[in-house]
Structure 1
Amino acid sequence: MSNTYITRQGETVDLACLAHYGRTEKVVEAVLDANPGLASMGAVLPIGTKIDMPIVSSTTTQPRLVSLWD
């Protein structure tokens, strides 16, 4: 199951992902895979473009702490 997102003026795929998911990491690729031909529309998508937003797992990305004295 997925949700449909409708683009606004001046929106790109990564901005649409940021608006829908709250992040772009590891979701832009999933959105492009779920929407064949979306990348060929250009960097700025036409207003009103319908994008299927697939359900992606919510992963927590925290930077790994490195200690120099271990």
Structure 2
Amino acid sequence: MADRLTAAQGDTLDELLWRERGLGPDALAAVLTANPGLADLGAVLPLGTPVIVPAIATPAAPTREIVQLWS
């Protein structure tokens, strides 16, 4: 299911995706494909620009093994 985000003042696409959905640069191609003409708006999106974010699997957070030195 796709989400709709709205650009705030001074937002770049990658900043908007990171802040709102935790998505990194690997999601940019899918978002640009879902929003024809979005790249033509420039690096900084105009205030209020709607951005459709297609369903993108977010990678799971890396896990660390916990080493307990004392019981």
TM-score normalised according to structure 1 size: 0.78
The CA deviation string for residues 28-62 of structure 1, in whole angstroms up to 9 with x for no partner, is 11111110000000000000000001110122476
What is the alpha-carbon root mean square deviation over aligned residues?
1.5
1:29 corresponds in structure 2 to 29
Percent identity between matched residues is 37
Counterpart in 2 of 1:50? 50
Mapping of residues 53-64 of structure 1, within 5 Å: 53-60=53-60
Q: Flag structure 1 segments of 5+ consecutive residues without an equivalent.
A: 63-70
Q: Distance in 1 between matches of 2:25 and 2:41?
A: 21
Q: Give every structure 1 segment of 4 or more consecutive aligned residues whose post-TM-superposition deviation is greater than 6 Å.
A: none
Structure 2, unaligned stretches of length 5 or more? 63-71
Q: Number of aligned residue pairs: give it.
A: 62
What TM-score does the superposition give when structure 2 sets the normalisation length?
0.77
Query: Deviation digits for residues 6-47 of structure 1, max 9, x if unmatched?
Result: 000000110111012213131111111110000000000000
Q: Secondary structure at the match of 2:45?
A: coil
